[in-house]
Amino acid sequence: MIFDKAAFRASATTIDEGFMDSIKRCLVLAPHPDDESLGCGGLISTLVEKDCAIQVILTTDGSQSHPRSVAYPPKQIADLRKTELVVALEHLGLGADNLFCYESKDSAMPALGEDGFNELSQKLANDLSSFLPQLILVPYELDPHRDHRATFQLLFAALKKVPDYKPKIWEYPIWLYEKAVENDWPQLESGELKCLDITRHLGQKRAAIDAHQTQTTPLIHDDPNGFILTEKMISNFLVDKEYFIERKKSNPTNTLSQDYFEKLYNENSDPWSFETSEYESAKYAATLAAIPERRYAQALEIGCSIGVLTKMLSKKCDHLISMDISETALQKARDRMEGDPGVSFINGGIPTDYPPQNFNLIVMSEVGYYLSKDDLLRTRELIFDTLEVDGILALVHWTHFVADYPLTGDEVHNCFANLGLSHIKGSRTADYRLDVYQKQR
């Protein structure tokens, strides 16, 4: 069954010009020399015209396009293809100093779980931390080439190592049009496919593609089975639009649903190892130590999960209301607290199901980043309105990138920084941030 390129493209929505104007730093991840020109050449030229800083990272050495050539051994092919890439980037408006090369072996780039992958992901994490691109272009997750898929995996592994950072991520297809089997086809929601008009830059793009002469001409003549970009393949990209996939799972903006959490807890009754993790145990101890030592008449725990922290908090409270969106998790919390009349539970999410009472202690641990920005702002208002004078707010959140989450932990905490509460304690480790506030008279 052949992938229907026309139907796929027909669903695309036009990229907003205002968004393109807002991008000041962009990163293009290219597995091979020529992927950048084919998939993103028009976008690169468009952003160069807008004075955007652009970096291109080549993840492999490109050495295996003609593996049986005697005249051009792998090292020579790699050097030649890198030279071609520099020329291609010049056609698009970039210089050699915009190019960074990771030099993984072509057609054998380490994928997730393979030797060398962790080291490569740390290298990319370091480069991301230095540049902090607002927009990242990466091959489509299931593009049918192992290096394309490995480059996608590399990006998301690296992002987990960069705290307080959440870029926009667009995937670009290359081999989807020619080699994809049905299981490779993207299953997109409405609005997830974007298109950019590149009519004005088609000449630059054509010149950039043609610069890759090892791939577009019979320059390497002694390997009849060597790779070549056919005109048919090139024609997929020499059209007036470029297409990018902006998936919600990679760029979430909506509050995560109840179904999301029910699925997690049905697959694993303790998905974050709250009961057994030394990390969680140490974080709980730090949280409890940061909360001023006194008796709290009415407390609220937002996102209690299976009740491990609930049990610890209950010892500080006359009455504790613990809430969670997952009924499966909440049942385990109820079982844990059975026989304790000082704890009651609400099955619901914030801000919709936020309880109407006032509280002198509110704890929000590892839940704020599940919310959309609008829902977090509404929750912030509810917390401020229901926190009694002298009441305590404790926030604790993981600070690393998680693709599924609409916000980062730092975004959550920064949202509360100017709320009008007094910041009485704050700390951060390599993995989480802890802030404690008090409402003044």
Confidence at residue 285, expressed as pLDDT on a 0 to 100 scale: 97
pLDDT exceeds 90 at position 441 = no
22: confidence class by pLDDT, cuts 50, 70, 90: confident
Do 53 and 191 belong to one domain?
Answer: yes
Report the sign of the C-alpha dihedral through residues 211, 214, 220, 224, in that order: negative
Do 184 and 45 belong to one domain?
Answer: yes
Query: Last residue of a domain, which of 186, 221, 245?
Result: 245
**SS3 for 320?**
strand
Do 118 and 169 belong to one domain?
Answer: yes
Q: Is residue 251 part of a domain?
A: no
**SS3 for 5?**
helix
Do 329 and 213 belong to one domain?
Answer: no
Chain mean pLDDT for the chain: 96
Q: Is residue 144 part of a domain?
A: yes
| β-sheet with 422-428: strand ranges across | 343-347, 317-324, 296-302, 359-365, 387-398, 432-438, 422-428
163: confidence class by pLDDT, cuts 50, 70, 90: confident
Confidence at residue 148, expressed as pLDDT on a 0 to 100 scale: 98
Amino acid at 91: H
Query: Last residue of a domain, which of 215, 245, 275?
Result: 245
- 174 vs 184: CA distance, rounded Å: 12
**SS3 for 335?**
helix
Tokens of 141: 């997750």
pLDDT tens readout for residues 336-361: 999 899 999 999 999 999 999 999 99
Do 297 and 268 belong to one domain?
Answer: yes
CATH code for position 167? 3.40.50.10320
Q: Is residue 191 part of a domain?
A: yes
Do 298 and 230 belong to one domain?
Answer: no
Q: Is residue 253 part of a domain?
A: no
Cis peptide bond upstream of 351, omega within 30: yes
Domain that holds residue 240: 5-245
422: confidence class by pLDDT, cuts 50, 70, 90: very high
Do 316 and 179 belong to one domain?
Answer: no
130: confidence class by pLDDT, cuts 50, 70, 90: very high
What is the domain count for the chain? 2
Query: Last residue of a domain, which of 222, 245, 268?
Result: 245
pLDDT tens readout for residues 254-290: 899 999 999 999 999 999 999 999 999 999 999 999 9
CATH code for position 403? 3.40.50.150
- Helix (H), strand (E) counts: the chain: 16, 15
pLDDT exceeds 80 at position 410 = yes
Confidence at residue 2, expressed as pLDDT on a 0 to 100 scale: 84
Q: Is residue 68 part of a domain?
A: yes
Do 140 and 66 belong to one domain?
Answer: yes
Q: 394 — alpha (psi -120 to 50), left (phi > 0) or beta? A: beta
Residues 204-231 have a mean pLDDT of 96
Do 241 and 275 belong to one domain?
Answer: no
Do 342 and 312 belong to one domain?
Answer: yes
**SS3 for 390?**
strand
Q: Is residue 407 part of a domain?
A: yes
115 CB contacts (<8 Å, ≥6 apart)?
A: none
Q: Is residue 389 part of a domain?
A: yes
Do 283 and 371 belong to one domain?
Answer: yes
Q: Is residue 65 part of a domain?
A: yes
Do 50 and 185 belong to one domain?
Answer: yes
Cα 280 to chain centroid distance, Å, stands at 23
Tokens of 427: 């700390």
pLDDT tens readout for residues 73-98: 999 999 999 999 999 999 999 999 99
